[in-house]
């Protein structure tokens, strides 16, 4: 989406994207794997841009909370965000820490 919109110096806006690739580097003699992200890079770029714009619109609203732990079951044991939000100090029970 950034390439298509002209977000990089020296790359003209509207330039088509031929392919999006995932590279998995293994550190072995084979070097790794290359996998295409899909058949239509421009459609994927449009989808990604729409997703980012949706997130920006959501978090631009004053009533949208910025949660320190949006998914507690998947949270790491330590998080700078939890520390800065003082989660342990404000928790009301053991399940919330």
One domain for residues 60 and 77? no
Say how many domains are in the chain. Answer: 2
One domain for residues 49 and 4? yes
One domain for residues 39 and 81? no
Q: Is the pLDDT of residue 14 over 90?
A: no
One domain for residues 19 and 57? yes
One domain for residues 39 and 70? no
Can you give the pTM of this predicted structure? Answer: 0.59
Average pLDDT over residues 65-83: 83
One domain for residues 42 and 21? yes
Residue among 53, 88, 52, 81 nearest 67 (CA): 81
Measuring CA to CA, how many Å separate 72 from each of 20, 56, 65, 67, 82?
32, 23, 15, 10, 11
Domain containing 7 equals: 1-64
One domain for residues 60 and 70? no
- 33-67 pLDDT, tens digit per residue, is 899 888 888 888 889 999 999 999 999 999 998 88
One domain for residues 81 and 59? no
One domain for residues 46 and 10? yes
One domain for residues 29 and 48? yes
């Amino acid at each position: 989406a950034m390439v298509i919109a002209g977000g990089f110096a020296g790359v003209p806006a509207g330039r088509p994207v031929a392919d999006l690739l995932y590279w998995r580097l293994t550190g072995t003699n084979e070097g790794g794997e290359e996998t295409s992200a899909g058949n239509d890079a421009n459609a994927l770029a449009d989808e990604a841009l729409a997703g980012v714009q949706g997130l920006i619109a959501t978090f631009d609203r004053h009533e949208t909370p910025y949660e320190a732990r949006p998914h507690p079951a998947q949270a790491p044991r330590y998080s700078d965000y939890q520390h800065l939000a003082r989660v342990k100090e404000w928790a009301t029970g053991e399940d919330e820490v």
